[in-house]
Amino acid sequence: MSANETPPRAPADFEKVAIGAQATVATFKEETPSLLKRIQHLLHVHPTAIPALVLVLSVAVFAMAGGQRFLTAFNLSVVLQQVTIIAVIGIAQTIVVLTAGIDLSVGAIAVLASMVMGKLAVTAGVPTPLAILIGVAVGAACGAVNGILVTRFRLPPFIVTLGTWYMVFALNLWYSDSETIRSQDIGETAPLLQFFATAIPIGDARLTYGSIAMVIAIALFWYLLSMTAWGRHVHAVGDDPEAARLAGIRVERVLMSVYIVAGIVCAFAAWMMISRYGSASPQSGQTSNLDSITAVVIGGTSLFGGRGSIVGTLLGALIVGVFRNGLALSGVNVLWQDFAVGALIIVAVALDQWLRRVSQ
């Protein structure tokens, strides 16, 4: 295609000079870019490469520094158990962040759902599967409230979920009378709630059902986000909601589904939480709001929406877990764990900003 073969009608006089010029504008060829640009482009196309690299490097460093105690099958399986809940809540956080939102209420929803499951099954004598189902419904309802406030009332997700965080937490204290449901009682009346604590011994390692469930959940959401139309729409809505709307996507419906699914995922995390701690405590999971955001950000998902991955979130959770575990085993003061996690967050966001500049 070129413009200089007998165009159907002559271009205007002042454009005549352009006729002889190269008109191959849309030939999508790239000039050879610099090495830095190439790395930037590569990371832009494969955003999970960074957290994967960081994870491998941190394991290597702690294996050298921490010596025998860090790099054992047993210790690594402990790390896996430690990150399970944050990784699953991180799934909920990831899908919300992909839509350029944020969900500060995930931790509170998980705690409320765990109290509903525990109290119904243990105190009220509801059959455990039904109690779990009701807990999941409570999670979905909380997510629906967030979704309605974001889509119908057009309030910013940060404010909505900050508000529901307080409200859900208050409901949780009211419903539970601020009382913990003891591990013993759950074990006797509702052992199904501790299902995910069951472990398969592999050598020294103890692989819990919870760890396996986490991997399955990650795989499921990887599939949903990258292989289904819903997943493409979640990305498109976060990328540019107006463009998504004009392309025929029902933006409100997608957002609504995202917040409800996030609530359901949090309820599953609640079940795993009871399994992990044995008991159901209204005071548990206090830090999981921020921890889930940390995992999402370190995993390379952009807080500006539209780009990121669920596998990155798993890697992000693992990185935090490895850092905390490794530093503890190296005998470093606990406060430096927090310092290191803080530094990781800032580096991750700086990297994201750099990658976003690829298009300019």
Partner 1 sequence: MSTPVPQVPVSQAPILEARGLVKRYGRVTALDHADFDLMPGEILAVIGDNGAGKSSLIKALTGAIRPDHGTILFDGQPVSFDSPIDARRIGIETVYQNLALSPALSIADNLFLGREPRVAGPLGTLLGMLDRPRMRREARAALSSLGLMTIQNIDQPVETLSGGQRQGVAIARAAAFGSRVVIMDEPTAALGVKESRKVLELILDVRAKGLPIVLISHNMPHVFEVADRIHIHRLGRRHAVVDPRAITMSDAVAIMTGAMAPPGEARAA
Nearer to partner 1, 5 or 177 (CB): 5
Per residue, what are the HEC states of 57-74? HHHHHHHHHHHHHCCCHH
What is the rounded distance in angstroms from the CA atom of residue 44 to the CA atom of residue 230? 22
Q: How far is the CB of 143 from partner 1 (least distance, A)?
A: 20
> Residue from 20, 27, 68, 203 that binds partner 1 (CB under 8 A)?
27
Nearer to partner 1, 46 or 69 (CB): 46
Q: Which of residues 277-296 bind partner 1 (CB under 8 A)?
A: none
- And the tokens for 298? 């370190």
Q: How far is the CB of 344 from partner 1 (least distance, A)?
A: 24
* Burial class of residue 161 in the structure, from the number of CB atoms within 10 Å of its CB (0-12 exposed, 13-18 middle, 19+ buried): buried
Question: Does the footprint of partner 1 cover residue 233 (CB under 8 A)?
Answer: yes
> Residue from 101, 285, 300, 306 that binds partner 1 (CB under 8 A)?
306
> Residue from 35, 36, 124, 246 that binds partner 1 (CB under 8 A)?
246
**Residue whose entry in the numeric block shows the structure tokens 């890697």:** 315
- And the tokens for 332? 């470093």
Cβ-based neighbours of 72, under 8 Å, separated by 6 or more: 204
Total residues at interface with partner 1 (CB under 8 A): 46
Nearer to partner 1, 238 or 282 (CB): 238
> Residue from 57, 227, 343, 346 that binds partner 1 (CB under 8 A)?
227
C-beta of residue 96 within 8 angstroms of C-beta of residue 226: no
> Residue from 64, 216, 247, 334 that binds partner 1 (CB under 8 A)?
247
Nearer to partner 1, 206 or 233 (CB): 233
**For residues 323, 326, 329 and 330, what is the CA-based torsion angle, rounded to 10 degrees?**
-90
Nearer to partner 1, 182 or 232 (CB): 232
> Residue from 143, 173, 277, 307 that binds partner 1 (CB under 8 A)?
307
- DSSP letters, 79-135, are HHHHHHHHHHHHHHHHHHHHTT---TTHHHHHHHHHHHHHIIIIIS---HHHHHHHH
Q: Which of residues 79-138 bind partner 1 (CB under 8 A)?
A: none
Q: Which stretch binds partner 1 (CB under 8 A): 18-26, 113-121, 184-192, 209-217?
A: 18-26
Nearer to partner 1, 51 or 135 (CB): 51
Question: Does the footprint of partner 1 cover residue 34 (CB under 8 A)?
Answer: no
Question: Does the footprint of partner 1 cover residue 16 (CB under 8 A)?
Answer: no
What is the rounded distance in angstroms from the CA atom of residue 156 to the CA atom of residue 127? 39
> Residue from 133, 232, 252, 303 that binds partner 1 (CB under 8 A)?
232
- And the tokens for 327? 């530093």
Inter-axis angle of helices 128-151 and 157-176, nearest 10: 150
Amino acid at 118: G
Q: How far is the CB of 28 from partner 1 (least distance, A)?
A: 4
- And the tokens for 322? 């490895």
Q: Which of 64, 258, 300, 85 is nearest to 161 (CA)?
A: 258
Q: Kindly list the residues in this chain that would bind partner 1 in the complex (CB under 8 A).
A: 1, 3, 5-12, 14-15, 18, 21-23, 25-29, 41, 44-45, 223, 227-230, 232-233, 235-236, 239-240, 242-244, 246-249, 306-307, 358-359
